[in-house]
Amino acid sequence: MKKRRAAGILLHISSLPSPYGIGTFGEESYRFVDFLKSAGQTYWQVLPLGPTGYGDSPYQVISSFAGNPYFIDLDYLVEDGLLDGKDLVQAKDSEPEGTVDYSKLFKERFSLLRKAYKKIDLIDRVEFEEFKLENSDWLEDYSLYMALKYKYDQKPYYEWPREVAKREVETLEALRQELSVELEYWSFLQYLFFFQWRNLKDYANKQGINIIGDLPIYVGRDSADVWANPEVFCLDEDYSPILLSGVPPDYFSPQGQLWGNPVYDWEYLEETDYSWWKSRISQSKHIFDGLRLDHFRGFESYWVVNSGNETAVEGSWVKGPGMQFFESLKEELQGLEIIAEDLGFLTPEVYKLKYDTGYMGMAILQFAFDGNKDNPYLPYNFENNSVVYPGTHDNDTVRGWLSKLDEQSLSKVKDYLNEQDDEKLVWEIIRAAYSSVSSLCIVQFQDILEQGSECRMNTPSSKSGNWSWRLKREDIKDEISEKLLELCRIYGR
């Protein structure tokens, strides 16, 4: 059945305007929703919302259930009486506008949130206790994990005392008693996160905007997930990964990408009817309208590298759980619009899995112009059941990409678009996406603003300088919303 045509924008919460160093669930997020509505958009796609660890990547979270406390809006805490306006002075931006200073956030934001916790009696205590009860299956472990991270000077859990890392029952019970205040503090932050997020999502939905979330296929090695559920992962007796995740050499890196996450023990997961994954999907269903499944091909087969290797070049493909996994999760996935990130080295088996699930695939225009008329990323080769992107968070911006093309490749782009003016090419790429047969068109805000490589969100395989781009308040203009609205009108989105 042919799907309705629609459009949306990819912009992570961290990239929203804010005077406090990072985007939040505050006033500017509601203003962005209003912009989406005025621009004829019906989707807002975000990156994973989990709390980030070393490297600040939303794809290396320290919990796949918890939310990132950095996104808690401080002005709302002032309105609720949890903070004083004078408390916010230290949180004001000190870096040039347009970047996130994660080091400053880590050093200062949590001490500010601790001030809010001192006034916990001002919140609805019944509601807070209900929140803790409803989320106890993950919240108790996450809160204890965070409390222990601070007790043991931010060391990874596998460097904690062995009885703690091993989760000996009596040891953990004694630590829960010792750290009871800390446990409540970390639970309090999750309560604030989800309270503010629910309000924002409810507002977006009432404006006709659906929010697409993102589910990383893997979790961070040093995470509450791995510490609390070691049996789910392929670890040795010292809690070190036996095999590491990644991808072989590809478009993004000639050395491949060694992500370093522990891979799953799919046999154990199958024996337990994928209960851990079901809980994870259920959590996503509560907070999103749609979900992008990161590294979808990993569910058919995934690349593993022996622990100790420095690159992902030497590895092998291992068979994944396949269709039975998605059949098992059918109830949890029901009602979610699913996007399969079907990028990378794809085989007939991966294509079959995507078709069997019925999920929307991804089409990236930056991959289209290699001179091959059968290139699946050329718009005339698209299928309706797909999402077209000029580029994603892992790509260069369209302006940056165009600037790096050789003369022959750039000529192919210009000929396809029937546009020779370099200054018009970015919006002609966006127009090509809007005019395509793909049912959904998603454009990064950086591309709407025609920004260059300095505004790129992520460069795969690089260890620094990522995830820091931010939107300026004045960038959200009526003329842009009018331009997007006109594209929606012309191309039936």
User: Which has more confidence, 370 or 483?
Assistant: 483
Residue pair 209/200 in contact by the 8 Å Cβ criterion: no
pLDDT value of residue 94 = 65
Tens digits of per-residue pLDDT, 236-245? 988 889 999 9
Residues 6+ apart with CB under 8 A from 474: none
Q: In whole angstroms, how large is the CA radius of gyration of the chain?
A: 23
84 classed as catalytic? no
In 286-439, beta strands by DSSP E: 290-293, 301-306, 316-319, 337-340, 361-364, 386-389
All structural domains of the chain: 6-490 (3.20.20.80)
Is 19's pLDDT higher than 70?
A: yes
Is 1's pLDDT higher than 60?
A: no
Residues 6+ apart with CB under 8 A from 81: 119, 122
Residues 6+ apart with CB under 8 A from 378: 368, 369, 416
Confidence of residue 460 (pLDDT cuts 50, 70, 90): confident
User: CA 72, CA 56: separation in Å to the nearest integer?
Assistant: 17
* Burial tier of 125 (Cβ tally within 10 Å: 0-12, 13-18, 19+): exposed
pTM of the model: 0.96
Is 284's pLDDT higher than 80?
A: yes
Distances (CA, A) of 127 to 16, 189, 366: 29, 14, 47
Coil, helix or strand at residue 461: coil
Catalytic-role residue among 225, 332, 341, 342: 341
Catalytic-role residue among 73, 222, 225, 394: 394
Tens digits of per-residue pLDDT, 81-94? 999 999 998 888 76
- Enter the tokens of residue 323: 């269709």
pLDDT value of residue 97 = 62
101 classed as catalytic? no
294 classed as catalytic? yes
Is 302's pLDDT higher than 80?
A: yes
Tens digits of per-residue pLDDT, 97-113? 678 999 999 999 999 99
Is 463's pLDDT higher than 90?
A: no
User: Which has more confidence, 258 or 70?
Assistant: 70
User: CA 117, CA 125: separation in Å to the nearest integer?
Assistant: 13
Strand order in the sheet with 290-293: 337-340, 290-293, 210-215, 43-45, 6-10, 440-444, 386-389, 361-364
Averaged pLDDT, 170-184 = 98
Catalytic-role residue among 28, 141, 294, 447: 294
Confidence of residue 465 (pLDDT cuts 50, 70, 90): confident
Phi and psi at 86, nearest 5°, equal -70, -20
Q: How many CA atoms lie within 13 A of 29 on its CB side?
A: 27
Coil, helix or strand at residue 345: coil
Confidence of residue 216 (pLDDT cuts 50, 70, 90): very high
pLDDT value of residue 92 = 86
User: CA 422, CA 315: separation in Å to the nearest integer?
Assistant: 41
Is 188's pLDDT higher than 90?
A: yes
Tens digits of per-residue pLDDT, 389-429? 999 999 999 999 999 999 999 999 999 999 999 999 999 99
Residue pair 65/142 in contact by the 8 Å Cβ criterion: yes
